Amino acid sequence: MHFDPNSRARFQEAIQTMTSPAIETTCCIVGGGPAGMMLGYLLARRGVAVTVLEKHEDFFRDFRGDTVHPSTLEVLKELSLLDEFLKLPHQQVKSLGVVIGDSFFQVADFSHVPTFCKFVALMPQWDFLNFLSRHARLFPSFQLLMRHQAVDLITEKKRIVGVVAQNHAPNNAPNENREVHIRADLVIGCDGRHSVIRSAAGLEVRKAGFGLIEHGVPIDVLWFRLSRRPNDPAQVLGNINYGKALILIDRSDYFQAGLIIAKGSFDSIRARGIETFRAGILQVAPWFEERVNELRDWDQIKILTVQINRLARWHRPGLLCIGDAAHAMSPAGGVGINLAIQDAVATANLLARPLLNGRPSNRQLAAVQSRREFPTRVTQAVQVVAHRGIERVFQSPGPIHAPWQLRAAQHVPGIHRALGYAVGVGARPEHVRDNVRPIPWRTGLAALACAAVGGVAAAAVCGWLTWKVLRKITAPAT
């Protein structure tokens, strides 16, 4: 009698499946961040049965991306949600500037971007996510499962057919998590740069056509809060001086502040003490004065380990990754959340109909990557160059004086508008389309060429200016 050595494992798996709660859905989205919630809304709006898994009990997490760019606001307008969205507390940023040494320079002007809203909205991300979830729940085909953490994938005949999740519901016994199986025609990983889904699917493993493409990043960011006063500088993205770069995000009554540091230097910064840290902030932004004393201990300061990477392949049969799960972005320019939402819009445009008709094919999943890989590469290329420029700041611990080249660049016609478009809209913005038809190849080629020229031009302008100016700033005095 022949004994199959794998029979016991299959038998145990079958017993576990029968005893674990099971959910059947068409599309299971892992991760309730901007990409996951927007995609869940868009698919449910088209009638697709959607289950979104979010491991936390709510959306309240600080030090997340809080910039809602014109491209995202345009999507909300197309969905007839914009008017209600703008009733939520927010600040409107119509231009961005940076203080280098003791001089202010305008960087980006959003007043001419080709969208309805010509500004960046600053809003806590939890308000944005609660807004999307509230509207998504109005669709009968939408289901949001909070406290459900994806831990593994269900695979049958080399195809992903579902997700294994742990339910951290408060009525569970102490130290006991209930296992839930969610079976779906398609699993979409939107669970961020530390994605469990892409790891379980083996998309990070280097082999033919797969792997994680890493770009070396020389910086990390320390996030913290400082109170804001009405007479504080407005429309300022950051301050650069004394070998430091400080990001400031206006949240009405306080700043979400980010100090850019050399990668791996946090331990040495902590060793010098909180008093030295506060003194360093005052060097860059002396107008904070006694408010730096609001930072009493290191528990108030959170480190973001900056990464720039992307998957070589975003999909497997039955599985697709988008957003940070497919391409981790730097916080530079605040574009990560908006790029993720553009991914969600493109995914819904391309896959809603296939999901209504059955399981999407591997070719249809590949079409999403084909659509979104170009803007990802362009954005990451710009960020890599910007990081190299920021790295030079660390080499000049003394006071900085802005060179004449930067002052001259301020007078180049259209430069602020071009940078406003690059930051606020970006390469290949997406629009909500309920009936997606194949684009004629000539039209598609022309659109791709225009997007490529625009993207490369933006990258060249940003990269050249960053490199030239910061090289001049950090050059040793003669």
Q: What is the DSSP string of 199-256?
A: HHTTTTS-STT--EEEE---EEEEEEEEE--TTS--SEEEEEETTEEEEEEE-SSEEE
Q: Which CATH number fits domain 8-87+113-215+308-372: 3.40.1710.10, 1.10.10.10, 2.60.120.10, 3.50.50.60?
A: 3.50.50.60
In the beta sheet, which residues pair with residue 184?
25
Residue 176: the pLDDT is: 61
Q: CA 181, CA 183: separation in Å to the nearest integer?
A: 6
Residues 167 and 148 sit within 8 Å (Cβ to Cβ): yes
The structure tokens listed for 258 are: 């980010």
Place of tokens 């033919």: 208
CB-based contacts of 238, cutoff 8 Å, min separation 6: 98, 99, 245, 246, 247, 248
Q: Please name the residue ranges forming H helices in 311-414.
A: 336-357, 362-393, 404-409
Q: Whole-angstrom Cα distance, residue 423 to residue 335?
A: 7
| Phi (first) and psi of residue 27, to 5 degrees | -135, 125
Predicted TM-score of the model (pTM): 0.85
Q: Cα-flanking dihedrals φ and ψ of residue 3, to 5°?
A: -110, 120
Report the greatest alpha carbon distance in the chain: 88
Distances (CA, A) of 438 to 10, 347, 406, 444: 43, 15, 45, 9
| CA–CA distance, 142 with 374 (Å, rounded to integer) | 31
Per the listing, tokens 């650069």 go with: 240
Question: For residue 450, what pLDDT is reported?
Answer: 45
- Give residue 173's pLDDT: 54
Residue type, 182: I
- Pull the structure tokens for residue 374: 């170009």
pLDDT tens digits for the chain (478 residues)?
A: 444 545 444 444 444 444 567 899 999 999 999 999 999 999 999 999 999 999 998 887 765 668 899 999 999 999 999 999 999 999 899 998 888 888 888 889 999 999 999 999 988 899 999 999 999 999 999 999 999 999 999 999 999 999 999 998 676 555 567 899 999 999 999 999 999 999 999 999 888 788 999 998 999 999 999 999 988 877 667 889 998 999 988 888 889 899 999 999 999 999 999 999 999 999 999 999 999 999 999 999 999 999 999 999 999 999 999 999 999 999 887 888 999 999 999 999 999 999 999 999 999 999 999 999 999 999 999 999 888 888 888 887 888 887 777 788 888 889 999 999 999 999 999 999 986 554 443 434 444 444 444 444 444 445 544 544 445 444 544 4
